[in-house]
């Protein structure tokens, strides 16, 4: 194993990496491809302070190539760097066995009946409950849990008889979000005829700790802006939701 820092061509210059594993900082963008081009056997990623979603996304690779990429703990990464810096390179034995399993995951639907004349109409409030990580073994879902936890709190509030709205509420926990919105598409396919008639509005919660900005989804795209700009422009949405619909 050789340590190659962030894996740039400059960091790899003068190092013979062919048929060897390289220890690379996780915050190295897509530079593992340089290691592939130079004949490396695989990459061992060491955790880096300040890692984010975009660093993870740049590790995606759609080409089926026999090039294992492993992720070690912060302690193991520091230990490997220490030993490599002392000796130049070290010999390691690598054993990896990632098992994949196909599972069926349901959409979970709750129903809170409205108490007004429009109780036959419904508002769908949804959030996804699955999580994703470029390293499957470290996918705690802390950020992804924001949406479904908020959904559960809304269910608790609206199920209280004093807060029951005029229209009925469909509480929808969606699966397969990271499989091309599979759960959402499945629900729409099954209930398409109800849209605009029974289902008056569909609101999806997609919350994140990555920003304080508020995003409004429009069709297949969305834009972010500051609340101070967004609020006046979409005040009609707030009025419609909390006055007319709820």
Closest CA to 174 of 165, 191, 166, 186: 186
What pLDDT was estimated at residue 236? 74
- Specify the range with the lowest mean pLDDT, choosing from 44-53, 97-106, 226-235: 226-235
| pLDDT over 90 percentage in the chain | 57
Please state the pTM of the whole predicted model: 0.75
Mean pLDDT computed over every residue of the chain: 87
52: three-class secondary structure by DSSP: coil
Calculate mean pLDDT across residues 6-11: 96
Q: How many CB atoms lie within 10 A of CB 23?
A: 24
Q: For residue range 122-142, list pLDDT tens digits in order.
A: 999 999 999 888 898 887 788
Which has the higher per-residue pLDDT, 202 or 72? 72
Indicate the pLDDT class of residue 192, thresholds 50, 70 and 90.
confident
Closest CA to 125 of 194, 174, 166: 174
Q: What is the CA radius of gyration of the chain?
A: 24
Q: For residue range 152-169, list pLDDT tens digits in order.
A: 999 999 999 889 889 999
Q: For residue range 19-59, list pLDDT tens digits in order.
A: 999 999 999 999 999 999 999 999 999 999 988 888 999 99
Is pLDDT at 213 greater than 90 in this prediction? no
DSSP H helices in the chain: 9-12, 32-37, 53-57, 74-87, 145-159, 182-191, 227-233, 235-239
- What lies within 8 Å, CB to CB, of 67 at 6+ separation is 32, 36, 40, 41, 42, 43
What pLDDT was estimated at residue 222? 46
Is pLDDT at 121 greater than 80 in this prediction? yes
């Amino acid at each position: 194993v050789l340590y190659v820092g962030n894996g740039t061509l400059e960091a790899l210059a003068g190092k013979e990496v062919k048929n060897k594993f390289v220890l690379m900082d996780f915050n190295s963008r897509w530079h593992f491809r340089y290691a592939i081009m130079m004949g490396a056997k695989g990459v061992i990623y060491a955790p880096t302070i300040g890692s984010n979603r975009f660093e993870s996304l740049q590790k995606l690779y759609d080409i089926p190539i026999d090039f294992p990429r492993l992720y070690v703990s912060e302690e193991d990464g520091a230990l490997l760097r220490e030993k490599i810096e002392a000796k130049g390179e070290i010999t390691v034995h690598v054993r990896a066995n990632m098992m994949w399993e196909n599972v069926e995951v349901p959409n979970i639907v709750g129903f809170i009946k409205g108490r007004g004349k429009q109780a036959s109409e419904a508002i769908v409030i949804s959030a996804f409950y699955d999580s994703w990580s470029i390293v499957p073994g470290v996918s705690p879902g802390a950020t992804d849990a924001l949406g479904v936890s908020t959904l559960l709190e809304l269910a608790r509030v609206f199920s209280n008889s004093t807060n029951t709205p005029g229209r009925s509420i469909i509480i929808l926990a969606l699966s397969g979000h990271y499989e091309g919105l599979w759960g959402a598409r499945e629900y729409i396919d099954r209930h398409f005829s109800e849209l605009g008639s029974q289902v008056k509005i569909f609101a999806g919660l997609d919350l994140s700790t990555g920003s304080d900005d508020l995003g409004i989804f429009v069709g297949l795209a969305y834009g972010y802006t500051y609340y101070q700009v967004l609020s006046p422009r979409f005040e009609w949405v707030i009025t419609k939701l909390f006055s007319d619909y709820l």
